[in-house]
Amino acid sequence: MAYKALLLDGVDAICGEILKQRGFEVTEAPKMAQEDLDEIIGDYHAMVVRSATRITPKLLEKAKNMQVVGRAGVGVDNIDLDAATRNGVLVMNTPDGNTISTAEHTCGLILALSRNIPAAVASLKDRRWDRKKYLGTEVHGKTLGVIGLGKIGSNVATRMKAFGMTVIGHDPFTTHERAAEMGVEMMEIDDILARADYLTVHTPLTVQTRGLISKKNAGKIKKGMFLVNCARGGIFEEKDLIPMLDYGTLSGVALDVYSQEPPSDKILDILSHPGIVCTPHLGASTQEAQGKVAEQIAVQIADAIEQKGFIGSLNGKSIALSTNKEVQPFLELAERFGRMLSQIAPKHINELSITYTGRCANHSQVLTDALLSGFMKGSVDEVVNLINARYHAESRGLKISETQSRETQTYSDLITIDLGPKAEYRKLSATPFGENDYRIVSIDGFSIEIHLEGEIIIYRNIDKPGMLAATSGALAQRNINIASLSLGRDLENAQAITAFTVDTKLDKKDLEFIDGIDGVNKVKYASL
């Protein structure tokens, strides 16, 4: 089957070329009306956008075949990540492709502000010679505050240090050692606001960063500060910029991003202020950057769909781990185990307790996602996969607890599930035996081996002569052939758990027939 990819927003042509080389059918549409997109989106398995197209919950509901949405760039404000996760759609971005271009644009805006370059250019083109009016200031010897020291922020810091600036920064994920390597002094945001002559932000738009600069915190800001934002619109409160410029709180503002893009008339009125330098979201708009992100996202999407790699995954940590060779056998075990458990668990089960022992304990999060993926399949109408399995489980009130155990067991690697006190079979353990060999090895303390494949019958029975003959005879009477069997015994209490795998699917009457055998009870059937 050929996968179909839809490329929107004028993504560089190299993206389509690479996807075609990888066997995709590619449709390129630089501009598309929302109603037209709604109509065709169900045909596609992958799509690539820049910042114009909005990936909404409504659109994702129509994208029944969608597996991957790729953002040719960094920001994913136009993609509803929660909705994508709910629908099992992987979202990827290209965090490295536009690093240099955005860092350079930021530095350019810092210099443009300092030397009044845009206004001076406009003045001279208007046939005026206003040298004194556009007296500038040097950046050398000034202090630059950088909030967000990721790839872009750290590149800005390095470049502006070369201009002789002192750089101070804030980033909750950057160590003091890493900051010291860059020559950046780390401090809290309020301290930066009080000390910085220039402030540039390189963070996502979050509850914490929205309105980071506004009239509310004007008293914390060093008088005469210059502001630059090439990150996300809304980090600076746009409506407060003009009064802060007029009152001298700020000396100048440079914006490349806006709370609404293209800017509304209200925002454009603000941008007309002479103290504001503005560009139309050009941070990543270089030939080099657009080529890089288009090439990167094409390779990432093809690799993801072909299960070769998941670089740039934003909502699929589990999927990103799924190609790890050590993890793969445990993933298969967990998914099969989950499918089997879903068929023997009590109705309306509200809690799953999972214990991981041995190597699998190192990958508990992804294995739980795999187990829940198997467990929820057949229980929900939507696509269930490693991305959204936990969401579907938790949204239905299923509580998940995970424990990593170092306790010595008979088997070195073990996944153990407790289905709770209402379960007829409460505690089950499973392990991989080898390639494509996955088995349940314990049920409620009974040692047993059940291959997690095919048609499985499990029941409790009195441990006495003739029980095995009775059930095997009953199956033969209904023309059901036994493929394998395993028996776990409690000699002291004369109890046993017996498991058969059979060659054909069973129906309700088959199970009632077995359950009717004297001494047999708690019959369960699972089809894998």
In this predicted model, what pLDDT tens digit does every residue of 17-69 receive, in sequence order?
Answer: 999 999 999 999 988 888 899 999 999 999 999 888 999 999 999 999 999 99
pLDDT (0 to 100) of residue 365: 86
- Amino acid at residue number 369: D
- What is the model's pLDDT at position 396? 63
Question: pLDDT class for 399, splitting at 50, 70, 90?
Answer: confident
- For 111, the 3-state DSSP assignment is helix
Concatenate the DSSP letters of all residues of 297-351 into one string: HHHHHHHHHTTS--TTBSS-HHHHHTT-TTTHHHHHHHHHHHHHHHHHSPTT--E
Q: What is the pLDDT of residue 173?
A: 61
pTM of the predicted structure, to 2 decimals:
0.63
With 60 as the cut, is the pLDDT of residue 232 above it? yes
pLDDT at 380 over 60: no
Average pLDDT over residues 472-478: 89
Q: Which of 45, 202, 281, 363 is catalytic?
A: 281
What average pLDDT score do residues 466-488 get? 90
pLDDT tens digits along 287-296: 999 999 999 9
Report pLDDT digits (tens) over 164-218.
999 999 987 677 778 888 899 999 999 999 999 999 999 877 777 889 999 999 9
> Is 281 a catalytic site residue?
yes
Catalytic residue among 17, 185, 261, 402: 261
Crossing angle of helices 13-21 and 287-305, in 10° steps, is: 30
- Mean per-residue pLDDT for 316-329? 74
Domains and CATH numbers, the chain: 4-95+288-315 (3.40.50.720), 99-278 (3.40.50.720), 326-527 (3.30.1330.90)
Please give the pLDDT value at position 235: 93
pLDDT of 381 over the 50 cut: no
Q: Which of 136-140, 477-481, 485-489 has the highest mean pLDDT?
A: 136-140
Query: What does the DSSP assignment read for 141-155?
Result: T-EEEEE--SHHHHH
pLDDT at 378: 59
pLDDT reported for residue 323: 67
Average pLDDT, the chain: 90
Whether the per-residue pLDDT at 12 is higher than 70: the answer is yes
User: Which of the four pLDDT bands, split at 50, 70 and 90, describes residue 317?
Assistant: low
Catalytic residue among 50, 202, 232, 451: 232
Would you call 261 a catalytic residue per the annotation?
yes
For the segment 306-329, the average pLDDT, to the nearest whole number, is 77
Give the tokens for residue 142.
């000034």
Q: How many residues does the chain have?
A: 528
